[in-house]
């Protein structure tokens, strides 16, 4: 720990960070500086390493001891696949039914779009009459448009002429006002001349006002005509659009115009038949559009379901792959730990064998020492017995000697 090459922190900071972010409860409280620095303890380092792994992978080792990691995933996959398999047949049948209905609708639409052979001549005649009528309408429209443009140009010229006259009158009014101002300064004090002059000026002013009102009225009428012109053009365009939209009505009108002079009854019957065919066609078109819309909505729903299923599959597979990767990493670490445990067990077995051998040697030494001790005890017992016997003999000899010594003394 003292020879680290990476950026160093103080031991107190390292201990505080381990207590705060890695260890919890009694483990953090029991951690002291001497467990990591100086001579670090292996069990403390192993505990810190395991807690960091648990926080990084969010999977505890007891999860692998209780249940395999692939049980829940297999059950989840089985449930999802069973639901998809159950719904697949019904979805396929609905899809086939919708495809059949779509084919039938397409056939009916094609049948409606195709003209029968007996009506082809009539259809050709009607189309030719429609073209002629459109040509006539276009010519009429162009003629009216040119006439309107000529009228507009004439009105514009009249408006320009009237504006020019109005400007001239304005200039004349200005000159008259200037002359009036000049005459006021030069006028003599004769009331009759002044009165006549004022009357003349009033008449000229009235004439000018009248001409101005006429010009303004003409200008307003021209302006109204010019303003009405775009509305007329819009009405013509709307009329053209209406004529283009009402193709069926134009067909009926063409048939009526071609036959109205000679056969009125036939035209009425043709109109009734045309109306009936048109209503049938419109009803069939509505039916086809409704079926197409329903088919489109169902196809959108099916596509959405497929996209949801594919997205769900992708998410499940991604989750499974992530779990598998995490499981592989944790499995490798567990295998490494298991290998370390096996090595430790092998060392323990070797130590046990060595301890057994040492115990056998100690037992043999104990037995040999016991046998030697017993031999020693026996030799000691024998020496003690021989010593006791020799002592007794010696005591007896001493007693005899004492008795022999006492007996001569008593005789004296």
- Tell me, what's the pLDDT at 13? 87
Question: Which has the closest alpha carbon to 284: 164, 108, 117?
Answer: 108
Percent of the chain with pLDDT over 70: 73
296 pLDDT above the threshold of 80: no
- Tell me, what's the pLDDT at 25? 82
- Tell me, what's the pLDDT at 235? 64
Q: pLDDT by residue (tens digit) across 195-216?
A: 676 677 777 777 777 777 777 7
Q: pLDDT by residue (tens digit) across 324-350?
A: 788 778 888 888 888 888 888 888 888
- Tell me, what's the pLDDT at 274? 64
- Tell me, what's the pLDDT at 175? 80
Q: pLDDT by residue (tens digit) across 97-137?
A: 888 888 888 888 887 777 677 777 877 787 787 788 888 88
Lowest pLDDT segment from 140-154, 232-246, 250-264 = 250-264
266 pLDDT above the threshold of 70: no
64 pLDDT above the threshold of 70: no
- Tell me, what's the pLDDT at 164? 84
- Measure the CA–CA gap between 402 and 393, rounded to whole angstroms: 14
256 to each of 225, 240, 260, 261, how far by Cα in Å? Answer: 37, 20, 5, 9
pLDDT confidence band for 59 (50 / 70 / 90): low
The count of other CB atoms within 10 Å of the CB of residue 53 is 16
107 to each of 101, 111, 288, how far by Cα in Å? Answer: 10, 6, 11
> How many residues belong to the chain?
412
- Measure the CA–CA gap between 266 and 256, rounded to whole angstroms: 9
Burial 73-102 (b: 16+ CB within 10 A, else e): beeeeeeeeeeeeeeeeeeeeeeeebeeeb
- Measure the CA–CA gap between 369 and 361, rounded to whole angstroms: 12
353 pLDDT above the threshold of 80: yes
Q: pLDDT by residue (tens digit) across 299-329?
A: 788 888 888 878 888 887 888 778 778 877 8
- Measure the CA–CA gap between 89 and 379, rounded to whole angstroms: 104
Residue, of 65 and 211, whose pLDDT is higher: 211
């Amino acid at each position: 720990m003292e020879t680290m090459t990476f950026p160093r922190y103080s031991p107190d900071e390292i201990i505080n960070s381990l207590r705060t972010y890695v260890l919890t409860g009694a483990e953090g409280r029991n951690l002291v500086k001497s467990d990591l620095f100086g001579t670090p303890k292996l069990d403390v380092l192993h505990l810190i390493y395991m807690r960091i792994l648990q926080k990084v992978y969010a999977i505890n080792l007891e999860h692998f001891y209780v249940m395999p990691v692939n049980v829940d995933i297999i059950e989840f996959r089985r449930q999802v696949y069973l639901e998809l398999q159950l719904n697949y047949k019904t979805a396929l049948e609905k899809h086939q039914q919708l495809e059949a209905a779509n084919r039938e609708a397409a056939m009916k639409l094609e049948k409606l779009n195709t003209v029968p052979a007996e009506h082809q001549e009539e259809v050709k005649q009607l189309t030719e009459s429609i073209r002629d009528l459109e040509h006539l309408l276009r010519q009429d429209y162009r003629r009216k448009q040119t006439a309107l443009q000529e009228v507009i140009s004439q009105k514009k010229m009249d408006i320009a002429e009237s504006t020019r006259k109005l400007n001239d009158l304005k200039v004349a009014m200005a000159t008259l006002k200037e002359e009036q101002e000049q005459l006021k300064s030069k006028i003599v004090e004769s009331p009759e001349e002044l009165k006549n002059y004022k009357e003349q000026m009033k008449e000229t002013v009235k004439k000018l006002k009248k001409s101005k009102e006429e010009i303004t009225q003409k200008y307003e009428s021209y302006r109204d005509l010019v303003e009405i012109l775009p509305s007329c053009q819009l009405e013509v365009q709307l009329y053209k659009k209406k004529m283009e939209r009402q193709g069926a009505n134009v067909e009926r009108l063409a048939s009526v115009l071609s036959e109205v002079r000679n056969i009125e009854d036939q035209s009425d019957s043709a109109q009734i038949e045309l109306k009936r065919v048109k209503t049938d066609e419109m009803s069939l078109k509505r039916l086809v559009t409704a079926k197409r819309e329903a088919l489109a909505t169902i196809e959108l729903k099916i596509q959405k379901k497929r996209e949801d299923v594919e997205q769900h599959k992708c998410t499940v597979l991604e989750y499974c792959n992530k779990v598998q990767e995490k499981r592989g990493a944790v499995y490798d670490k567990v295998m490494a730990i298991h290998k370390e445990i096996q090595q430790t067990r092998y060392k323990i077995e070797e130590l046990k064998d060595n301890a057994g051998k040492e115990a056998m040697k100690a037992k043999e030494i104990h037995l040999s020492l016991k046998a030697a001790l017993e031999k020693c005890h026996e030799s000691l017992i024998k020496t003690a017995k021989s010593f006791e016997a020799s002592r007794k003999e010696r005591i007896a000899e001493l007693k005899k000697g004492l008795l022999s010594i006492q007996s001569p003394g008593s005789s004296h």
